[in-house]
Amino acid sequence: MQPVLFLLLGVALTLGLILVAGRFVGFRSQRPAHFTGQGPQFDLREHLNGPILCEGVIYGPLGRVSSRFVADMEAHWDGNKGVMTEHFRYDSGATQTREWRLTLGNDGQVRAEADDVEGVGEGWVSGPTALLKYRIRLPEASGGHVLDTTDWMYLVENGAIMNRSQFRKYGIKVAELVATMRRKD
């Protein structure tokens, strides 16, 4: 009986360490304050404005590319309120249209709403980065699951934006997205 108990205790301890490490090391440990005063300043009204071309890949739970996409985006602002429409074309031939409704606070806070987002997404702009956390409801064709999303955008020196998002269900990473966004000429 003791060897089984020790095995179960070891498995539980290992899983616990993995979960704790995920909170303090790597992608999920980043905080907006880590980027204060660094690099070019990310102004969503400037850098996410007008026509934008987005190209990216989605990785499945095993780390393999599960989908590639190109998206045409269009964003417009009226003061601190913006609307960004996204038209995705996936390598499978599927298409998707989404619309974000964004509100910027004077303190760098961002509030985001979309028809497939449960509640209101919240985030912050800090230095060359923008963070957005929200719960997205996948289309029924993709299972209709609701996933917790952490979405980081990084402004680079030439004005392009690198986007990395992780999607989790019950705390377990089930997908990751990496994309570039840049203004269309």
Every domain of the chain and the residues it spans = 1-30, 32-183
63 beta partners: none
* 32-183 maps to CATH 2.40.128.20: yes
* Predicted pLDDT of residue 65: 95
CB 132 within 8 A of CB 119: no
* Predicted pLDDT of residue 124: 92
Token duo for residue 110: 């961002």
Phi, psi of 92 (to 5 degrees): -75, -10
Q: How many CB atoms lie within 10 A of CB 5?
A: 9
CB 133 within 8 A of CB 123: yes
Average pLDDT per 10 consecutive residues for the chain, totaling 185 residues: 76 68 60 64 92 97 95 97 97 95 93 96 92 93 90 93 95 94 91
- Return the residue matching tokens 């705390």: 171
* Predicted pLDDT of residue 24: 60
- pTM across the whole model: 0.80
* Predicted pLDDT of residue 152: 94
- Alpha carbons 94 and 142: distance in angstroms, whole number: 12
